[in-house]
DNA sequence: CTAGGCGCTGGAGCGCACTCCAGCGCAAGC
DNA sequence: GCTTGCGCTGGAGTGCGCTCCAGCGCCTAG
């Protein structure tokens, strides 16, 4: 019977990796770089992740994935160190990130529209058997024009 | 009176840079890497961009910005070389990219929801003067908790 | 005639965010 | 008591996508 079996609340780094999608190396690198707080260690020096840490890691992943830089993510995590006193500042940081995400959504929608317009354009040319200048293509080309692979 | 003044249809690299938002260096690099077709040159060896090329560059920008890799963008541009015969394949590539953008939109919306949830959480804790464990904070902390900068 | 502005090429350099070892320790199972 | 598995550290390496020269040429204006 081991210590860890007496403490079912702690997770190994591998388990956290599987639950969050971050590689084991990345979890360690994030901790070293301050994107995750220093983790408590078991008697053998291994990281023991509290169960609730998974949720925190997932927030960090969401922030990174939405483009928050490593530096700003570190700031957020440093604020978390301060406890309740930093709630307002953490909220403000997240609100800035929210605006950034809104901006990304607008850009993405605009780029999607551009791609869709082009797709429609190709579809029409293929249906009509025309080239980019609106001139009819020959039969050999028309056959190729319809190929999608 | 120069040649270029007799051909108002051609654009200089700087002008294309300003219209598309790509740096001059990036325009040249894209061409070298096949993300843009080889441009015709003026008598002095400088690139002359046809007016309609701006539209094409903007499509490339949209593709890159939505995460299409350099390699896949190159494939798209190589297909464009083939003319009308590659319309179907170009359309298919854009359709795959469209699906990818949809996926990005879903992820972005999910990550936004996570951030919003956290913001709401902080807002509630601040309003109630509680810490992360739901315990009341002291007055000094409460004041700091409300600070946003 | 020369100085400034723009552009050209080839190649080196850079920033970011990981990713991948080498070499080690500990603990459990056979 | 040896192998297997997991984890540790420090540090080097990687991939992507630009970005930044140095050194040059060609116009045009003064």
Minimal-distance CA residue of chain B relative to A111: B62
> From residues 48-77 of B, which are strand D contacts by CB within 7 A?
64, 69-71
* B89-102: pLDDT as tens digits: 999 999 999 999 99
With contact defined as beta carbons under 8 Å apart, do B75 and A134 qualify? no
* B50-105: pLDDT as tens digits: 999 999 999 999 999 999 999 999 999 999 999 999 999 999 999 999 999 999 99
B134/chain A closest Cα distance in angstroms: 10
B101/chain A closest Cα distance in angstroms: 7
User: B49-50 and B10-11: which strand pairing?
Assistant: antiparallel
User: What residues contact residue B23 under an 8 Å CB cut-off, 6+ apart?
Assistant: B17
| Contact flag B87-A125 (C-beta cutoff 8 Å) | yes
The CATH architecture that domain A1-81 belongs to is Orthogonal Bundle (1.10)
| B13 pLDDT higher than 50 | yes
* B118-140: pLDDT as tens digits: 999 999 999 999 999 999 999 99
pLDDT of B9 reads 74
CATH class for the region spanning B3-81: mainly alpha
Domain locations along chain A: 1-81, 101-149
pLDDT of A9 reads 75
Q: How far apart are CA A88 and CA B143, in angstroms?
A: 10
pLDDT of A113 reads 98
């Amino acid at each position: 019977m081991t210590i860890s079996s007496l403490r079912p609340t702690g997770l190994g780094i591998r388990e956290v990796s599987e639950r969050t999608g971050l590689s084991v190396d990345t979890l360690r690198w994030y901790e070293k770089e301050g994107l995750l707080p220093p983790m408590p260690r078991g008697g053998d020096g291994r990281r023991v992740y509290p169960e609730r840490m998974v949720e925190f890691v997932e927030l960090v992943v969401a922030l990174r994935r939405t483009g928050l830089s490593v530096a700003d993510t570190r700031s957020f995590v440093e604020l978390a160190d301060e406890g309740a006193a930093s709630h307002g500042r953490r909220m403000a940081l997240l609100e800035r990130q929210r605006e950034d995400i809104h901006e990304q959504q607008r850009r993405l929608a605009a780029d999607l529209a551009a791609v869709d317009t082009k797709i429609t354009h190709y579809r029409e040319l293929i249906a009509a058997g025309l080239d980019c200048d609106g001139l009819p293509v020959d039969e050999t080309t028309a056959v190729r024009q319809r190929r999608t692979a």
